[in-house]
Chain A
Amino acid sequence: MTTVLRLKDASFTYAGATGPALSALSLEVRRGEVVALAGVPGSGTSTLLLVAGGYAPRLVGGAITGERELSAHQPAIVFATPWTQLTGLCHTVFAEVAFGPASHGLERERIRAIVLRQLHRLGVPHLEGRDPATLSGGELQRVIVASALALEPDLLLLDDPAAELDPAAADDLYDLLKDVAADGAAVLVATPDTARAARAATRAIMLDAGRIVADGTPAEVFA
Chain B
Amino acid sequence: MIGFRPGTSPLHRAHPYTPLAVAGALLCLVFAARTPSAVGALVLAALALPLVGGVLGLVARPALMLSLPTWILLLVLHGILGPDPHHALGPIAVSEPGLARALVLGGRITAILFAFLSVLATVSPARLVEAMTERGVPFSATYLLVSTLTLVPRMRARAAQILEAQQCRGLRLGGSPIARVAALGPLVLPLVLGALAEVDEQVLALDTRGVAKGIRRTAMEPPPDSAPDWTVRWLCLIVVVAAWGDRMLGALQ
Contact = CB atoms under 8 A, between A and B. Distances in A.
Contacts, number: 78
Task: Give the secondary structure class of B's interface.
Answer: helix
A94 to B, nearest CB: 8
B201 A104 contact: no
A148 B204 CA distance: 13
A76 B207 CA distance: 10
Contacts of A77: 208
Given A89-B146, A102-B218, A103-B213, A59 B205 contact: no
A102 B146 contact: no
Nearest to B128: A89
A100 B209 contact: yes
- Chain A: interface size category: 20 to 34
B150 interface: yes
Contacts of B129: 89
Contacts of B215: 103-105
Contacts of B126: 89-92, 95
Given A89-B126, A90-B126, A95-B126, A103 B209 contact: yes
B91 interface: no
Nearest to A53: B208
Contacts of B220: 94-95, 98, 102, 108, 111-112
Given A84-B201, A89-B125, A106 B218 contact: yes
Interface string A95-132: 10011111111111001100000000000000000000
5 contacts: A89-B143, A90-B126, A103-B217, A104-B213, A105-B215
Given A99-B209, A111-B218, 9 more contacts: A53-B208, A55-B204, A60-B204, A86-B205, A89-B143, A103-B209, A104-B213, A105-B217, A151-B210
The 4 closest A-B pairs by CB, nearest first: A103-B210, A91-B126, A100-B209, A84-B201
Interface of A: 53, 55, 59-60, 74, 76-77, 84-92, 94-95, 98-108, 111-112, 147-148, 151
